[in-house]
Structure 1
Amino acid sequence: MTRQGPTRAAIYIRVSSDDQTKGYGPQYQREETLAAAVDRDGCVVKPQHILDDSKSGSTDDRPGWQKLLAYARQGEIDAVYFWKLDRMMRDEYYFYVNEKELTDLGVELRFATQDLKDPFNRAIQVAVAAEERRKIRERTYAGRTRAMRDGKWLGVPPYGYEKGPDLRLRIRESEARWVRRFFLWLVKEKLSMHKMAVRACEQRIPTRFDSRGTAKPRHGQYYWCQGTIKRILANDVYTGTAWFRKYRRLGSSKLSSPDLRPENEWIRISTPSIISSEVFETARTQLLKNSMESARRTKHEFLFAKRIQCGVCGKGLVANAQQHGRHKYYHGSYWTDHHCMACKTIPEARLDAAVWPAFLQFLQRPDALPGVTAKYRDRRLSKSSWGTDQRTVERAERDLRVAEQRLLDCEVEGFYAESVLAVKRRELTIRRRDLEQQKQNLMLKTRAEQQRRDAAGSAQAIYKIARDRLVRADYATKRRVYQLLVDRIVLTGTLAEVILKLPRGDRIPDAAEAIAAGIPRADSGVSLRRTSHVKCDAITEAPDEITATFTVSLGGIRDVAGRGKGR
């Protein structure tokens, strides 16, 4: 049955951004469209049926448009007026989908400044609107790219920065100090994202919304979530370099996976650095380590979970348990195409029985083990024909200077022919190169000896402070000690190479107190590569680390857990 009476119309007004609402565009659209609906066609327009949006026409996910569809579904309107067709949609798909829905609901589409009753003309205008959108995107993208190549920052500045009058980033010190604090918490204290977020909320650290006095969409003031902190810690803009056009999205959705562009398409922007590149790389490594050692989805507690590695294939062994956690063991992954036959199954009790006594012996008497420096010197310094002590090096350097001076005198006096002088110079050059190598080796030996002393002192200090707790250690205490001081255990056959990380300096009391009090604190480790028979292949040094390694025998290892269910 046809409804009698004047046509009930709705007016839809759209601009592409919030900034355009400040101009005369929306007002002009409203006046022209309302005049066409009321004065020209005699329609009735209620105030609540005049809707506007300030969003792109590439999608129909707009508040005003969704409200208009709701009015149409409720049968409150008979027609919709637009200033032009592109004010409705600029995408062919969304136009035809929404046109069909409105037509099926009995709602007619009308345009104030265009006569598009003919379907052919309407299809042409739909294609023109979509093509114009693509051109706008191309022009906008070209302008943004040019601005980025000039070093200007487009969009919201990262936390810790603000945009200057020239649109370049500059440090906002009130926020930058908290960025440094976040990296300090991760690098020095090795806190998880959850603990960092809780601490940030407790200390009422201002967010970007709080610093700028803007309303926060959710949770209120001084609230930090884990994802926000992780994005800060993973953003290399704080090292002084930002990259644009580094990724391209394979789909139109923001949830689609990004694809790395060719490196020549990247745009580099220099920014003021808040942290150093070394700190950022250390933080990135710690983030990966936190992810690997996360306790989520863990049903049982293990002593060596995520710390055991196969010495043949290099893959980690998986912790598992049977008999409701009474029997714990570690095994390789059997659900891969290439299974390593060296990844044997080893019970946790057997590994602990071999590692813990050797570990206590190392902490109690590290100097009782064969000296690392001697092995290090034998492998790295024995090839040199010069002595390795300081007096020998000084004497060799003094003799070389005398020989160089004599050759210079002979050259001035014309004592040697030119061919003889060339041979003498080559001999002195070889002696100088050997001497420099000898000085380098002596420096390495001195550094290795200092590292050995540091590691020995650190081990003895920890044992002295937490001796009572270590001697009578229960399962929970052992688990904390392994988490704090063991970096990884490499299994090769029947041998287990235990790589330790020992705290240095003012970190020693923190680690010892954490063991004694049962509080799992993070530590900065140092490592000194050694074995119980000491087999030292290299001494590696990081800013706060010396790697110490000892080797223990596990006896025969056999597959005691089988490969059935739960493996």
Structure 2
Amino acid sequence: MRNTPKVAAYIRASTDKQESQHQRDDINDWAQNNNIGPTEIDWYVDLAQSGSDPGREQFRELTDAIDAGEYDRVIVWEISRLARLGSIYQKFFETAADNETIVNITNGWSDTVRPDGTGKLIADISAAVAEEERRKLISRVNSGIKRARKEGKWLGEVPVGFERTDEGYLRPLIDADPDEDSYLEIRNALEAIEDGGSYRQEAKGLNTTRQTLSRIDQDDDRLQWYLDAIAGDERVAEALQDIQH
């Protein structure tokens, strides 16, 4: 039996831009309220990692450390931070139980899962509810995207020389601000490149980079948007109707 309790904390964020500081703050607050000092915690952090990936480096190292008997307690912000797949989730808790490791959840229906199984059922239900809510959210988002596309709305990054209307539709940018390039400016640059001009030369005086001009020039479909005002994408074709007349 270990004489000095050792504590680990695990943080996971799905993208490297996703905010993870709130997880750390919440864990630290919980630890302080339970007489665990910040210097007593070993941190394991996986950023830009999906909860469905069992090969997360830090998660794998933490699981191995628990299996080696190194920790009496593991603190996580939320059950979903550990795993989103039931098999990964269950294996983690089996490892913790086999090694007498307590798992604390700072943001959940149950804040403690003990090796004897106390709190596990509530944690399982919490995880199942969270996953169902996530599925519903993904379904709503996907439905919204499909509906927007069906209505001809443009999603994602707006192509250079275009703008997106308040209603979400794409249209050529004619009256451009100083920090923008109009559709006609981009078309003139591409026409000059077709006549032998260089990307670097034609990018001078534009906000658009030579790399962007090069990508458009080497994409036959997109190049037609500018040189011929035609497009296979119905949303772009609709936007270009006024240019064609």
Q: State TM-score, norm by structure 2.
A: 0.59
Local SS of the residue matching 2:233? strand
Report % sequence identity: 19
Q: How many matched pairs?
A: 217
Local SS of the residue matching 1:49? strand
* Contact 2:75–2:104 under 8 Å retained in 1: yes
Q: 1:268 to 1:164 in 2, by over 3 A?
A: closer
Distance 2:236 2:213 in 1: 29
1:49 is aligned to: 43
Distance 1:224 1:105 in 2: 59
* Contact 1:15–1:54 under 8 Å retained in 2: yes
Residue 142 of structure 1 and its aligned partner are, at CA, apart by 2.0
* Contact 1:149–1:269 under 8 Å retained in 2: no
Residue 5 of structure 1 and its aligned partner are, at CA, apart by 1.3
Residue 154 of structure 1 and its aligned partner are, at CA, apart by 1.1
1:204 paired to 2:191: no
* Contact 1:16–1:55 under 8 Å retained in 2: yes
Residue 30 of structure 1 and its aligned partner are, at CA, apart by 3.5
1:266-345 superposed matches below 5 A: 270-272=238-240
1:113 is aligned to: 107
* Contact 2:80–2:127 under 8 Å retained in 1: yes
Residue 105 of structure 1 and its aligned partner are, at CA, apart by 8.8
Q: 1:39 to 1:236 in 2, by over 3 A?
A: same
Residue 233 of structure 1 and its aligned partner are, at CA, apart by 1.6
Residue 29 of structure 1 and its aligned partner are, at CA, apart by 3.8
Q: 1:144 to 1:6 in 2, by over 3 A?
A: same
Local SS of the residue matching 2:122? helix
1:242 is aligned to: 233
Distance 1:85 1:269 in 2: 47
* Contact 1:12–1:81 under 8 Å retained in 2: no
* Contact 1:241–1:270 under 8 Å retained in 2: no
* Contact 2:154–2:169 under 8 Å retained in 1: yes
Match of 1:66 among 57, 73, 77: 57
Q: 1:177 to 1:275 in 2, by over 3 A?
A: farther
Distance 1:69 1:162 in 2: 46
1:30 is aligned to: 24
Distance 2:75 2:202 in 1: 47
Distance 2:241 2:218 in 1: 17
1:81 is aligned to: 75
Distance 1:70 1:96 in 2: 17
1:164 is aligned to: 164
Residue 60 of structure 1 and its aligned partner are, at CA, apart by 5.9
Residue 151 of structure 1 and its aligned partner are, at CA, apart by 3.4
Q: 1:150 to 1:109 in 2, by over 3 A?
A: same
* Contact 1:13–1:87 under 8 Å retained in 2: yes
Residue 14 of structure 1 and its aligned partner are, at CA, apart by 3.8
* Contact 1:77–1:107 under 8 Å retained in 2: no
* Contact 1:11–1:82 under 8 Å retained in 2: yes
Could you tell me which amino acid in structure 2 is paired with residue 272 of structure 1?
L
* Contact 2:6–2:41 under 8 Å retained in 1: no
Distance 1:161 1:230 in 2: 14
Could you tell me which amino acid in structure 2 is paired with residue 146 of structure 1?
R
Distance 2:186 2:101 in 1: 53
Q: 1:113 to 1:164 in 2, by over 3 A?
A: closer
Q: Which has the higher contact order (CA 8 A, sep 6+)?
A: 2
Distance 1:38 1:144 in 2: 44
Larger radius of gyration: 1
* Contact 2:8–2:41 under 8 Å retained in 1: no
Residue 37 of structure 1 and its aligned partner are, at CA, apart by 2.6
Residue 83 of structure 1 and its aligned partner are, at CA, apart by 2.1
1:127 paired to 2:128: yes
Distance 2:84 2:126 in 1: 10
1:232 paired to 2:219: yes
Q: 1:274 to 1:86 in 2, by over 3 A?
A: farther
Distance 1:177 1:146 in 2: 35
Deviations along 1:239-291, one digit per CA (max 9) or x if unpaired, are 24525xxxxxxxxxxxxxxxxxxxxxxx8873337998xxxxxxxxxxxxxxx
Q: 1:157 to 1:223 in 2, by over 3 A?
A: closer
Residue 156 of structure 1 and its aligned partner are, at CA, apart by 1.7
Match of 1:39 among 29, 33, 36: 33
* Contact 2:78–2:107 under 8 Å retained in 1: yes
Q: 1:59 to 1:151 in 2, by over 3 A?
A: farther
Residue 140 of structure 1 and its aligned partner are, at CA, apart by 0.8
Distance 2:97 2:218 in 1: 46
2:6 is aligned to: 7
Residue 59 of structure 1 and its aligned partner are, at CA, apart by 4.6
Distance 1:36 1:144 in 2: 39
Local SS of the residue matching 2:75? strand
Local SS of the residue matching 1:270? helix
Distance 1:178 1:151 in 2: 28
Q: 1:131 to 1:10 in 2, by over 3 A?
A: same
Deviations along 1:70-103, one digit per CA (max 9) or x if unpaired, are 4665779734322221233334355346666777
Deviations along 1:275-328, one digit per CA (max 9) or x if unpaired, are 98xxxxxxxxxxxxxxxxxxxxxxxxxxxxxxxxxxxxxxxxxxxxxxxxxxxx
Deviations along 1:34-80, one digit per CA (max 9) or x if unpaired, are 2223431636556872747467645567xxx6345446657797343
Residue 3 of structure 1 and its aligned partner are, at CA, apart by 3.6
Could you tell me which amino acid in structure 2 is paired with residue 10 of structure 1?
A
2:176 is aligned to: none
Where structure 1 has 5 or more consecutive residues not aligned to the other structure, the ranges are: 186-198, 214-220, 244-266, 277-567
Residue 148 of structure 1 and its aligned partner are, at CA, apart by 2.9
Normalized per residue, which structure has more strand?
1
What root-mean-square deviation, in Å, do the aligned CA atoms of Structure 1 and Structure 2 show?
4.9
2:177 is aligned to: none
Q: 1:54 to 1:163 in 2, by over 3 A?
A: farther
